[in-house]
Amino acid sequence: MKVTIYGSGYVGLVTGACLAEVGNEVLCVDIDPDKIERLQRGEIPIYEPGLERMVEENSRAGRLRFTLDPAEGVAHGLFQFIAVGTPPDEDGSADLQHVLAVAGAIGEQLQEYRIVVNKSTVPVGTADRVRERIGQALAGRGVQVEFDVVSNPEFLKEGAAINDFMRPDRIVVGTDNPRTAELLRALYAPFNRNHDRLLAMDIRSAELTKYAANAILATKISFMNELSNLAERLGADIEQVRVGIGSDPRIGYQFIYPGAGYGGSCFPKDVKALERTARDCGYHAELLGAVENVNERQKQVPFTKLQQHFGDLGGRTIALWGLAFKPNTDDMREASSRVLMEALWAAGARVRAYDPVAMEECGRLYGERGDLVLCDSAMAAVDGADALVVITEWKEFRSPDFFQIRDSLNEPVLVDGRNIYDPAQMATMGYTYYSIGRGP
């Protein structure tokens, strides 16, 4: 089948590569000439395990191509996927200008029946606006062409996106036309084997499902972070509480890990956007606001622990392990590491940072500055520092040489923002160890 995908960012590229991998002819359209040129050369703009190989092989086989030309895009695919970004506006709502610009471009070029598929995370009602924008462009041209608009949200996790796409838990298809649902069923057939995972529903429900999924996961995390602060004050251990409640299958073990707050391009943006959507229809969504506030506060916890230990942090040097918002990505959007670094700098401290893949991204975000040293290894970061803070739970941080770290630090102070170490072991080795929800 022929598929066109607008937007060669995270979602667009993964969708394009995976659809090409199973034999479809995919054309990716983007407005950024630099990005298209790099993709044509086989260079991937993001870090995602497995993606580079997939793009390279499918490009070589001629199943995956890249273009700047929307006219070529509209002519190519029966399926027209919109996978452009929806960054937050100043007021927290999702900015739809890129989505609507693609809709306009489709309307300008449409010659025969097309299925326009919204894959970007977009507020409820966006499919109607996309339909309207295409309709306006057609009316402007004085032509009538049949088309459908479908909501097909994605549930990919960064760092595991290929696997999530190839083996989805569910494929949500929001449409008001049963024939369109069947065409999408055919497109997704290679990913929908053994038992039926395709859930056809009405468009607005599909749009809301995406926000509901992210918001409930964010809620679980904020709930646990709230409880971790309470556990500290009550002398309880949140890790024991976590296992105690996770064993109830109604609660489950996943997404109840307390930590230094959630980050990334999705949870913070989507929780805010859903709250905003609620406000726009006259409903005050109390829980969503609280989830967001608890998260903002939680991102400050590692800094507060350092401050409580050292008092004034001016002139101190803090080693930081982990910059990405989570392991297996170089993405630092809304990362807790940024809140910590910025608080440390404001307090006059220096940072020696190390991350297995996000160093370049950190350099790009903050540039050269005297109070940030980007180190070549985890051990180099602790060298001569006053304390070590672990903020992202990369595998390589799980079992480091604690003796060497202790000897490299001026003072054996360790703030574990993800509870990856054992407090008893840390105490035996002479560390002053702070973690989340387990003691002061």
Judged by the rule CB under 6 A, the positions of this chain that interact with ligand UGA are 121, 154-158, 214, 217, 221, 255-257, 259, 262-264, 266-267, 325-326
DSSP string over 279-343: HHTT---HHHHHHHHHHHHHTTHHHHHHHHHHS--TT-EEEEE--SSSTT----TT-HHHHHHHH
Query: Is the separation of the CB atoms in 96 and 87 below 8 Å?
Result: no
Tell the smallest beta-carbon distance from residue 281 to ligand UGA (Å).
22
From the CB of 407, what's the least distance to ligand UGA, in Å? 30
Shortest distance in whole angstroms from residue 266 CB to ligand UGA: 3
CB of 425 to ligand UGA, least distance (A): 22
Closest distance between ligand UGA and the C-beta of residue 12, in Å?
Answer: 12
> Contact at 8 Å (CB) between 362 and 332?
yes
Q: Among residues 81 and 257, whose Cβ is nearest to ligand UGA?
A: 257
Closer residue to ligand UGA in complex, CB, 74/320: 320
Q: Among residues 266 and 372, whose Cβ is nearest to ligand UGA?
A: 266
- 3-state SS assignment for residue 192: coil
Active-site residue (options: 18, 28, 266, 362): 266
Q: Is 333 annotated as a binding residue?
A: yes
Residue with tokens 């506006």, as numbered in its chain: 89
Residue whose token pair is 């006059």:
348
Question: For residue 127, what are the CA distances in angstroms to 114, 133, 259, 422?
Answer: 14, 10, 36, 49
Interacting residues of 311 by C-beta distance below 8 A, sequence separation 6+: none
Q: Establish whether 256 is an annotated binding residue.
A: yes
Helix axes 203-234, 126-141, angle to 10 degrees: 150
Is 36 annotated to bind a ligand? Reply is no
25-29 and 2-6 strand pairing: parallel
437 close to 227: Cβ distance less than 8 angstroms: yes
Query: Looking only at Cα atoms, what is the longest distance across the chain?
Result: 79
| Residue 259 counted as an annotated binding residue | yes
Is 270 among the annotated ligand-binding positions? no
**Known active-site residue 18:** no
Q: How far is the CB of 170 from ligand UGA (least distance, A)?
A: 11
Q: Compute the distance between CA of residue 186 and CA of residue 180 in angstroms, rounded to an integer.
A: 10
Q: Which is nearer to ligand UGA, 100 or 156 (CB)?
A: 156
Q: Which is nearer to ligand UGA, 107 or 263 (CB)?
A: 263
Nearest to 181 by CA among 197, 200, 202, 206: 200
Of 77 and 263, nearer to ligand UGA (C-beta) is 263
433 is in an annotated binding site: no
Q: Is 397 annotated as a binding residue?
A: no
Contact 201, 187 (CB under 8 A): no
Q: Enumerate the known binding-site residues for NAD(+).
A: 30, 35, 86, 121, 158, 269, 333
Q: Enumerate the known binding-site residues.
A: 30, 35, 86, 121, 155-158, 210, 255-259, 263, 269, 326, 333
Residues carrying an active site annotation: 266
Q: Enumerate the known binding-site residues for substrate.
A: 155-158, 210, 255-259, 263, 326
